[in-house]
Structure 1
Amino acid sequence: MTFSKFFPRLLFATFLIAACAISTGASAQNSTNSVVTTDQVRAELLAHAPDGADPGKTVWVGLQLTHQPEWHTYWKNSGDSGLPTTLQWTLPPGVTAGDIAWPLPKKIPIGNLANYGYEGTVLLPVPLTITPDFKPSLLNSDLEIKLKASWLVCRKECIPEEGEFALRLPVRGSTALNAAAFDASLKAQPQDLRGESKVEVDGNTLKVSVTGLPVALQGKTLEFFPETPEVIETAAKWTQDWQGALWTARVPLSEQRSQSPAVMPLVLVTQADGQRQGFVTQARVAGNWPQVAAAAGVSPALAAALKANASQAPDPANPAVPLALWAALAGALLGGLILNLMPCVFPILAIKVMSFTRHANDRRGHRVSGLAYTAGVVLSFVALGALMLALRSAGEQLGWGFQLQSPAVVAALAVLFTVMGLNLAGLFEFGQFLPSRVLLLESKNPAANAFLSGVLAVAVASPCTAPFMGASLGLALGLPALQALLIFAAIGVGMALPYLAASLIPAVARWLPRPGAWMDTFRRAMAFPMFATVVWLVWVLGQQSGIDGAGALLALLVALSLVVWSLTLKGRARLPIAAFSIAIFALLAGAIGQNVIKPLETTAAAASGERWQAWAPGRVEQALATGTPVFVDFTAAWCVTCQYNKKTLADAGVLADMDAKKVTLLRADWTRRDPAITAALSQLGRNGVPVYVIYQAGRVPVVLSEILSVDELRSALASL
């Protein structure tokens, strides 16, 4: 897709997300009744129990959303933007809730985007299973049902809303007042197809073929809805054709695809006798998926280095046996070296190389800059390690990379990198805003700049766990403070070593290019890695604070850029425009700034049928008690290595082996601070992510390498 085509869509999506976050009055008033009403939606909790709620019966409950004209909510796959409605149930012991029986969605175009969702009135039914363990109270024989629901309702702007609902159903009696609504919703469910379906990955296109559709549909145009989000280009044109009883389609893949499923549930919809009729099929995927968007930020150099070092990673199968201190120091040193290949720190290092080149003829300046940069890196690692050890000794459950578990720190880094990117792009020079005596001080103290660049590099790179660092950092927790700090210092020395060598050894320095006009072009080009890092940080914040937080941060960064631009103006217009832009920034900060640091509420529940489930304390033991092995992925959004390894975890052969061994897959998301996950990592002798563990009843947990390979993972699964 050309930039001219992609940019309007990106711009529209950005403003849509910002509108979602900026809208006020976005949360419905909490209610303990069965109805919540906002200006956009009337939400009501309905129940259908024609046979009562005795043990062994199934009771249907559901959230009915009645939208105002032009407003809509979303299906399980929301399309290009939006969020599906979520339901959190509070039920008596012995009563379990199933999945939402999603009715057929509609395709809703919005500008250059397309969403999947519902308009008008829709009921989202959920089955409740009454097991023999349900024991009604003698004093109160009703079945008490409580629901906390969240939905995103959109027109051109989007408003996140929520409500709390409660119902009581008589156990012995029947409830059939809402029979028509539930019957209509259940009739709107897609029917299972018995025929064989297949999806073939052909470059950047999916070739879909479906058999078993009713004869009456042959020749008709069908609507196409994949249940797996973030795979296809939702708004793009696609083609379909009938070859007898075989329906085929060619659908373009999304350039921002983040999923590589082995099986794709597909919903096909058509109009029949004035009614929408749908069919669902499980299509097996053939062919090799292109590289997913999540790994797009991994440079070829990084990918090559990761593969080259994967075979060298030690086997920490027995975390109870500590490594020798010297081995840990060597691993920390090598891990620090590999940190230089992490995309998140590349912009800082590129600027460092540029500063070396700028002073190519100043040998003394080279040495001073290299030593100052090394001091900044090493002291920052030691300070971070000392802070973490001190907080842990005070009872805090923290691990390596804890600074990026704070939304405030992530947002501050995004602001810093935005300003640096604007400076590199040539929008402004720091000299325009700094007093002359400060500039004079800066010119007299270039070592201070080098030192601070080392500090910034550590702040961004430290969460990117490299090979050999996991075991070293885990060991540091059990060592005396001085020895532990030596390990942190070794990481810093490893990271600074290439630049220290370039500053002290003339032969290395001669490899650097000579100064010239190319440096200005290179400087401006470096603005784009800076902005790419901002995109990554906004994505990390979205995992911590949700779409509201990410949208708020984007809006504030745009407003901040407006302030910076206004301060570069000349003449009479500067003062009023600057005052206006500062006022806008202050207004936005007051209105939506709290969304940036507001933690996102999460739930450990996972929909039935999902391959990965959320990790929770005790969940491994529960799965092992059933006799099945367990694979746990300890991961985080800010961990680049974790994102790289997801390609291995999504490999079709690996997934087939896991299915054959009936492995329970759990994902422990450490993006936000979670003391329970920190404690679980400590038990494994680890202090950061990624960590991959295979549990089997009666055996010691097997901790795999931090850089996963398909062969290693399949070999470990074969031994189960």
Structure 2
Amino acid sequence: MPVLPASAQATASSDHATGTLLVERSAATPGDTFLGALRLKLADGWHVYWRNPGDSGLPPTVEWSSSPAVTAGEFRFPPPHAIPLEPLMNYGYEGEVVLPFELKIAADARPGDQLTISGLFDYLICADVCIPEAITLSITLPVAATPSADADASAVIAATLTKLPANLTGRAAIERTDAGFRIGVADPAVAAALVDAADVRFFPNGPEILHPPLQPARTGPEGVVLELQASDFVTPNSVIAGLLVIETKDGTQKSWEVAPTPGPMPDGISATEFVRTGVDPAKAAAAARASAPAAPLDFGGAVVLLGLAFLGGLVLNLMPCVLPVLTIKAAGLVHTAHDPVQSRKDGLAYLAGVVICFAIVGVILVALKAAGDTSVGFGFQLQYSWVTAFFALLMFAVGLNLLGVFEIGSSLGGVGGNLADKGGTSGAFFTGLLAAFVGAPCVGPFMAPAVGVALSQPAAMILAVFVVIGLGMAAPFVLLSFTPAFAKVLPKPGKWMETFRQVLAFPMFLTVVWLVWVLGQQVGIDGAAKALMALVVLAFAIWVASGRSTAGPGGEGQALVRRLIGGLLLAGALAWSWPVGALGGG
């Protein structure tokens, strides 16, 4: 009975992209080799990344779950575009990108077999913010005695192959300069493309080259020479390689893989300075601003910037990632509303916690900027998957605390304890720290421009912006804590507050679920499973250390042993989840 060809396409969508899995074959043969591809159609204003994302970002990846008889190769990336996002320069794709890869069918596959080509495709997609997204795509491919082609998929893949980088037939050389490197390429195809060139750029494979918006270039009848700036990642053994991309005046791209060898520049490649034409004026202006130092703001500009920062802090209270912590603070307000003195103390303590946390973030960013690292911005910590894992562990511990599994003097948000004593004020302070800590990755609509401009300003203005963001975030609770009339509309504290405290644990656990999902997008199912195991070990460590594992309270020696065992288990939980960072760190 003949095998009927199957559809060689599968499509799925995420929030900001639609992905299609394409396969050249609608039926394959034993031992067959052919091409597949991932086609991503991106929402307007969003982009994904090349194999080297530039100053920030991550390239698309795939975790295959195909039939054992199917072997898939790595993505082959078409030439990227330079995407300036002040003050960063990224390399990637807008609109649509097709990433081909090779597929091999095992020789022992038999006609009549139904093979599955399936994978989880992860990609970081960015506009003003970056979001990790993923789609699962799967195709069933029959094995037949003779191959059958899928015309539509083959046409898309064939068109993409014409855009992939070519190999040089000429010579490429590299030499050190005071600023970094000089790369020269003498090649007939390169020389021919330069005749109609609007732009020329070298995209490095690694981090050894800085990513300025424009690379000085000179051309001649034989090729081109480019001046490149070295980064702090250069070592004596660094090997520089990458992609030479020439964009012609009609908007098409021609590219070549370049692996230059140390030596003098070839002849005939630096006769005249290359003048770029046909570059998008808006992008060129953004690129120039990205590399130019910003002038300090005048008084009016500083007032506007700080005003935006304050509004951004206010809006931050509405961000989903901070709401679980704010519900704890709200419960604390209920406790102290009938004690005006304690309410004001807790309000000021909460304000101090929020402002100190934001000030610390500002100091870190100033230090990184002073060290020459321009790849960080507000919420930079979530570029690293180990930080996502740490957030999950922290939120899980807070949830256990709210359920009463363990106590730390008073609960984290000052809920359920005697809030008239020092513990309540301490709880308010640490609630402020936690609220700012988990809120940092949430960029509110007023905060994005404020922080973007602030990062181009002197250190004092950067710190001022972050302090004012903290003031804005804390302002609503401080205002309520200083408003006596607020107490009249609130119920009096009672046993119901302990129940309410326990109910608040469940938004925390939902936050943990979301964080583990984000972690799964970053590092795959294995990394998420490690984080889940770490949560179990953490819960066991807390249970042991809290004394609930024994029938009685025991003496000081027994308590010390419990805490020691709990500490070792906690260290084990952190160590178990630590490889997650190595798998998917930003």
TM-score (ref. length: structure 2): 0.49
> TM-score w.r.t. structure 1 length?
0.41
